[in-house]
Structure 1
Amino acid sequence: MSGGRFRPLAGVLAATAVALTGTRVSAIALPWYVLGTTGSAAWTGVVAFAEMVPYVLVKALTGPLVDRVGPRRISLAADVVSAVAAGAVVLLDALGALPLGALIALVVVIGAGRGPGDLAKEIMIPEAAGRAGMPLERATGLMGVTERLAQTVGPAAGGAVVGLFGALPSLGLSAVFFALGSMVVGLALPRGMGHSAPAPADKLGSGSGSGSAPEFGSGSGSESESGERVTPAPRRGAGSEEGYWRRFGEGMAFLRGEPLLLTVIAMVCVTNLLDAAFGQVLGPVWAKESGHGPVLLGLCGSVMGLTAVGGSLVAAAVAHRLPRRPVLFAAFLIAGPPRFLFLAFDLPVVAIVAVFAVGGFCGGFLNPILGAVSFERVPRHLLGRVGGLQTSLSHVGVPLGGLLAGAAVTVAGLAPVLLACGAAYVLALGLTGLRPEWREMDRLRARPATARPTADGPVSDGSSGAEGRVGVRE
């Protein structure tokens, strides 16, 4: 294979890496800047809310537009918007013209740019893999490793720059990363990327079947006599003739007929809320009140990201041989609640870092499992609209996480809120884990699918070590 075949895939992965690194840097810089200027956990939560509400809403509504305009153009424009907004924060603060209202407005713009930018990069992976002649499963595995590496580098860079130079230079670094992401997309990805005709239906391979989804007209598929799902390719040119709301409705209709995906979304939505509370408010407040500062906070995030890379690689090698349900819930229980519970007590730094390391490794198993479930069920031609809806619905609680955490810390103090969040995490996993739909997770493996699905799944928080299309929040 010629090296040119791999250029689109390498470009998507590189653009994802630098843009997500910018996001992780800003995740350290923004809360620290607000805490430093206002001294208020509540206002820190408000700023986090202002970023995540447009992120969720715009990402949900952008799916049909991405299908029509093309993910390359959307990614280019979105990263430029995020870079300009982040740079404006630095410039206005340097000029002494950044009141809190202006900061919130610019944070809204950053969130609105990040949503469609993230979605566009994610859904270019299948076409890039096809151009490279690479199996989709391997390409999505590379995407997962890329995301973990960004989660490792970003917090370390953000924490180091904040500790050495302050929050605003760190946010300036974030703007540079956003701009680099746009440049990589423009230089490495060919024009028309994302507008290729859908690939012919083929076998996904063992462990990728589904047969329980009902029909939704010509776009949702049916079952053959052997029980395999058959998803007919869309008519040539049909996507350009359909209206926006018709395409949006097709994505909604598909999800309504998928009880397992809806159950996953519901569970991940709750854990995302709690992870957002930790990342946006509880972690920064703990770092400040404990005296450890942003450097240790960034170190913990990077250690968690690094061990998550190892967990993802191990999961890619052996997860297909393991029972999905017990591994998924065991990994969630180790990756999520302990962070809250351990930080509520005055433990040695070594113990705290160890908790993040073990949690990251276990979190690395989440997205490979949840991603496989989504890929088994979502047909390729619904890529943008279903992917945008799934990730956005799983993010619904994220804007409230920081807002509620900031208010709760103001009223009750940090330690009680950390303990309550840890208990809520365990309760959420226990209650949703009793749902009967989870039994379908292991059944799907026995029935290979006829169509190759490629849409994104729900996303859970990167704080729990699982970041990507199905599982954790970005």
Structure 2
Amino acid sequence: MTSPQVSRDRSPFVALLAADNVSRFGDLMTAVVIPWFVLDTTGSAGKTGIVVFAVGLAVVVSLFAGGAIVDRIGYRRMSLLGDAASCATIATIALLHHADALPFGLLVALAFLGTLLDLPAQMGRYAALPDAAAQAGLRFERANSIYEGVISSGALIAPATAGLLIAWVGPANVLWFDVATFGLSILIVASAFPAPVPGAAGREEPRLPLRRAFSQSWSLVRRDEVLFPLVAYLFLINLIVGPVETLVIPVYANTVLDSAIALGFMTAALAAGGLGGNVIFAAVGHRLPRQATFALAFATLPVMLIVLAPGPGAGIAIPVLVLVGLGLSIGNLLEYTIYFERIPSYIRASVLGICGGLTWLSVPLGRIVFGALIEATSLETALLILGLVALPLSFTALFLRGLRTRPASA
């Protein structure tokens, strides 16, 4: 008896890939443009620190709540809502700036609101990937590799594009390019997914009540001999990681290199290093000693900060940032490898949200402190202080004894 031919339709997968890449491209451009816009309009690293603090705070909130929101309203609506929020807030910033009616407090509020739904929107699109892949007749592993590859490529191109556009038309006008990317993503999702991808809706899976899931997840993190120390370590590390892309790079490009183009290429250098880290970890990650890997991966941070303190040119700054991107990528991949080893599948999303939220709590704090430190001293002094603090922090990974053991299958 011949089995029925399975109908394959790759258009939802292609559209999902396109929509997510366009939206993330806008997010990445915004991450470059907004700090430069604040520096350009206020001339204050301290005020820039406040704005990127608000952005980081929005990420923390969305990490804790994003998974639950996606589960309740669905991936398609979440994608549309997140892009609409970004589109509206960035357009409002641009309009009010051109009307000379944008007080600083409102800018901070709009930056917070524009970021709040970005991560849930990304979660929603990623949640649709297995069903879109199945409809396209693709194995999930292959679909996921394609998905991540496109995202990584966008992470290389978007910052450089933003830097070139800032130099060409100015940061305020680049905001309209960001608005266009979010609008295009909305159009793709709305037209390609008039209904959820078959299988994404109506599939009933047992779920714990939200309060019980949160309670069990927090209890697991708090009691686990590996997770809790790891989260505490990453909380400290993120005090240093937080300011790098949103303050160190924009302020350095602005005050030392005086070049928006350099800003784009410095940010792209982090992404290039990240691609290298992905390749290295895929090849040998399962064999790396975990304590030493975390320590050496995050030791790239103080190296970069101390090297940049004297104010070298782009010829030194860009290679050092590639090294940092490589280290952060390896550290991040190892972090999530450990999470997936130790977290039960039935509360995985909730535990990942708690771990991500806790480790990210220090990101906005690090940003606002570093911005204030620049204002109180100078960029060079602030970089040196941050580097000297980061050096011992990175090597505290050597004291995380739980990392010495692995699951038997690892």
Provide TM-score, normalisation by structure 2: 0.87
* Residue 420, structure 1, aligned to residue 385, structure 2: yes
CA distance, structure 2, for counterparts of residue 122 and residue 308 of structure 1: 20
* Residue 439, structure 1, aligned to residue 401, structure 2: no
Contact 1:67 1:385 in 2 (8 A): no
Comparing 180-189 with 88-97, greater Cα deviation is found at: 180-189
* Residue 357, structure 1, aligned to residue 322, structure 2: yes
* Structure 2 counterparts to residues 39-118 of structure 1, below 5 A: 39-118=43-122
CA distance, structure 1, for counterparts of residue 132 and residue 17 of structure 2: 10
Comparing 127-136 with 257-266, greater Cα deviation is found at: 127-136
* Residue 179, structure 1, aligned to residue 183, structure 2: yes
CA distance, structure 2, for counterparts of residue 427 and residue 137 of structure 1: 38
* Residue 394, structure 1, aligned to residue 372, structure 2: no
Q: What does residue 161 of structure 1 align with?
A: 165
CA distance, structure 2, for counterparts of residue 3 and residue 41 of structure 1: 56
CA distance, structure 2, for counterparts of residue 132 and residue 387 of structure 1: 28
Q: Look up the equivalent residue of 1:447 and give its one-letter code.
A: S
| DSSP-derived class of the 2:399 partner | coil
CA distance, structure 1, for counterparts of residue 336 and residue 15 of structure 2: 22
Given candidates 227, 232, 255, the residue that maps to 1:261 is: 227
The 3 A distance-change label for structure 1 pair 7 and 394 is farther
Q: What does residue 404 of structure 1 align with?
A: 369
Q: Look up the equivalent residue of 2:268 and give its one-letter code.
A: S
Q: What does residue 330 of structure 1 align with?
A: 296
The 3 A distance-change label for structure 1 pair 85 and 439 is same
* Residue 145, structure 1, aligned to residue 156, structure 2: no
Given candidates 300, 321, 331, the residue that maps to 2:266 is: 300
Given candidates 286, 310, 313, the residue that maps to 2:279 is: 313
CA RMSD of aligned residues (A): 2.9
CA distance, structure 2, for counterparts of residue 265 and residue 84 of structure 1: 35
* Structure 2 counterparts to residues 281-296 of structure 1, below 5 A: 281-296=247-262
Contact 2:296 2:394 in 1 (8 A): no
Q: Look up the equivalent residue of 2:283 and give its one-letter code.
A: A
Contact 2:161 2:264 in 1 (8 A): yes
CA distance, structure 2, for counterparts of residue 382 and residue 188 of structure 1: 31
1:129 to partner: Cα distance: 5.2
Q: Look up the equivalent residue of 1:118 and give its one-letter code.
A: Q
The 3 A distance-change label for structure 1 pair 141 and 401 is farther
Gaps of 5+ in 1: 199-235, 449-474
Comparing 352-361 with 395-404, greater Cα deviation is found at: 352-361
CA distance, structure 2, for counterparts of residue 118 and residue 349 of structure 1: 33
For residues 407-465 of structure 1, the C-alpha deviation after alignment (integer angstroms, 9 at most, x for no partner) is 1111121112111212222222212331111113xx22x237xxxxxxxxxxxxxxxxx
Using the aligned pairs only, state the percent identity: 28
1:404 to partner: Cα distance: 0.8
Contact 2:58 2:116 in 1 (8 A): yes
CA distance, structure 1, for counterparts of residue 324 and residue 55 of structure 2: 26
Q: What does residue 337 of structure 2 align with?
A: 372
Comparing 138-147 with 68-77, greater Cα deviation is found at: 138-147
Contact 2:85 2:113 in 1 (8 A): yes
Q: What does residue 38 of structure 1 align with?
A: 42
The 3 A distance-change label for structure 1 pair 181 and 39 is same
The 3 A distance-change label for structure 1 pair 79 and 357 is same
CA distance, structure 2, for counterparts of residue 12 and residue 263 of structure 1: 37
Given candidates 214, 217, 221, the residue that maps to 1:251 is: 217
Comparing 378-387 with 279-288, greater Cα deviation is found at: 378-387
Q: Look up the equivalent residue of 1:58 and give its one-letter code.
A: S
Q: Look up the equivalent residue of 2:28 and give its one-letter code.
A: R
Q: Look up the equivalent residue of 1:287 and give its one-letter code.
A: A
CA distance, structure 2, for counterparts of residue 326 and residue 125 of structure 1: 34
For residues 288-321 of structure 1, the C-alpha deviation after alignment (integer angstroms, 9 at most, x for no partner) is 2214322112111112312422331343234334
CA distance, structure 1, for counterparts of residue 149 and residue 276 of structure 2: 9
Gaps of 5+ in 2: none
For residues 349-378 of structure 1, the C-alpha deviation after alignment (integer angstroms, 9 at most, x for no partner) is 212222122333344433332222222233
| DSSP-derived class of the 1:389 partner | helix
Given candidates 25, 40, 59, the residue that maps to 2:29 is: 25
The 3 A distance-change label for structure 1 pair 237 and 155 is closer
Structure (1 or 2) with the greater helix fraction? 2
Comparing 182-191 with 58-67, greater Cα deviation is found at: 182-191
> In the comparison of the two structures, how many residue pairs are matched?
405
